[in-house]
Structure 1
Amino acid sequence: MTQKTGSEVERMTVTRIFDAPRELVWKAWTDPKYVMQWWGPKEFTCPVCKMDFRVGGKFLYGMKSPDGQTFWNAGEYHEIIPFEKIASSMYFADSEGNKVEAADLGIEHEAIEGAYDVTLFEDLGDGRTKLTFIGNEPAESAKDSGQLEGWNQILDKVAEIVAELVDAK
């Protein structure tokens, strides 16, 4: 994994506006039963999702590709402001949550040293919520590597879940 430093690096950012109250968007983002439905890009599934959702808590996601290969991500929650903000570290892992270097998996990945992934939830009024995900990858390399496209596909899945939650309400 290549490390970049400095606050001058433009970070990968994806934004989506949901026609749903912030509490429902938060629920879709933080409840493991929903995370299992959206984690991973289109056509990927998430058969494993373990979350200790508290500051200092850890998480482990297993993402299965259409060809049956499982990729693992793990991390830790560093800041949680209910219905407003989540800051976490995330890294490639093995099935036990132990950190694995991206290069060892044959994956090119750049990270900004000391940067956390940050998810912001903004109440826009009129029952709408803006979710902004700011990754720890430089924007240019995230675009080139497919990370940006993958996160947009993830947000498409989140939108489907949020719509179902709104309909069920």
Structure 2
Amino acid sequence: MPVAPRLTLLLRLKASPETIFALWTRPHHVLRWWGGKGGRAMMAQLDPRPGGRFWVPVRPASGPGYDTYGVYHDVIDGEALIVDWETERTPPSRLVVQLLQLGELTEITVTHRNFPSETARDVQLARWQDALAALEAYAATVGPEAD
């Protein structure tokens, strides 16, 4: 049986895991980076607890808009998020965000798996690269007590 396509991205930011966790789980922060550079998250409905749902419609700088939504499977404050992820064009996939403190830095590992095709993976890879670049820029403007 072939393995479903997946992607893994790694980013290190000068912020605590608690701050980075807030940037992923607080709507007012998600609105600032989720749409990528030049894009825009139109709103962010987040209920970061096991069984809670999220919905973030995005209008990118170019190309058609899309909605991201799903269910939080596991939430470990300051450490990890595991969600079942969907868009209106793709079946559910699994997103895992892990945070690891490395001195003054936090290593963020984003693993997104179970894509229906390599094409779907490649589209999401470009979206994650754009969003994580925006997260990096935004994180540099946030103080250590992000709420």
Q: Give 1:17's aligned amino acid.
A: R
The answer to whether structure 1 residue 62 and structure 2 residue 78 are counterparts is no
> In the TM superposition, what is the alpha-carbon distance from 1:142 to its structure 2 partner?
5.8
Choose which of 98, 114, 120 in structure 2 pairs with 1:120. 98
What's the secondary structure of 2:112's corresponding residue? strand
Aligned in 2, Cα 1:162/1:136: closer, same or farther, shift over 3 Å? same
> In the TM superposition, what is the alpha-carbon distance from 1:167 to its structure 2 partner?
7.5
Q: Is the 8 A contact 2:52 2:72 kept in 1?
A: yes
Choose which of 15, 20, 23 in structure 2 pairs with 1:25. 20
The answer to whether structure 1 residue 151 and structure 2 residue 135 are counterparts is no
Q: Is the 8 A contact 1:29 1:35 kept in 2?
A: yes
For normalisation by structure 2, the TM-score amounts to 0.83
Which runs of no fewer than 5 residues in structure 1 stay unpaired? Answer: 93-99, 103-108
For normalisation by structure 1, the TM-score amounts to 0.73
> In the TM superposition, what is the alpha-carbon distance from 1:70 to its structure 2 partner?
3.6
> In the TM superposition, what is the alpha-carbon distance from 1:134 to its structure 2 partner?
0.4
Percent identity of paired positions between Structure 1 and Structure 2: 23
Q: Distance in 2 between matches of 1:70 and 1:155?
A: 18
Which runs of no fewer than 5 residues in structure 2 stay unpaired? Answer: none
Larger Rg: 1
User: Alpha-carbon deviations, 1:25-83, whole Å to 9, x = none?
Assistant: 11111111010111133321011110111110001111013469542111000001111
Choose which of 32, 36, 41 in structure 2 pairs with 1:37. 32
The root-mean-square deviation of aligned C-alpha atoms, in Å, is 2.8
> In the TM superposition, what is the alpha-carbon distance from 1:11 to its structure 2 partner?
2.1
Aligned in 2, Cα 1:137/1:38: closer, same or farther, shift over 3 Å? farther
User: Alpha-carbon deviations, 1:95-146, whole Å to 9, x = none?
Assistant: xxxxx4x2xxxxxx5x6x8x52100000112x110001101255x8269733
Number of matched residues? 145
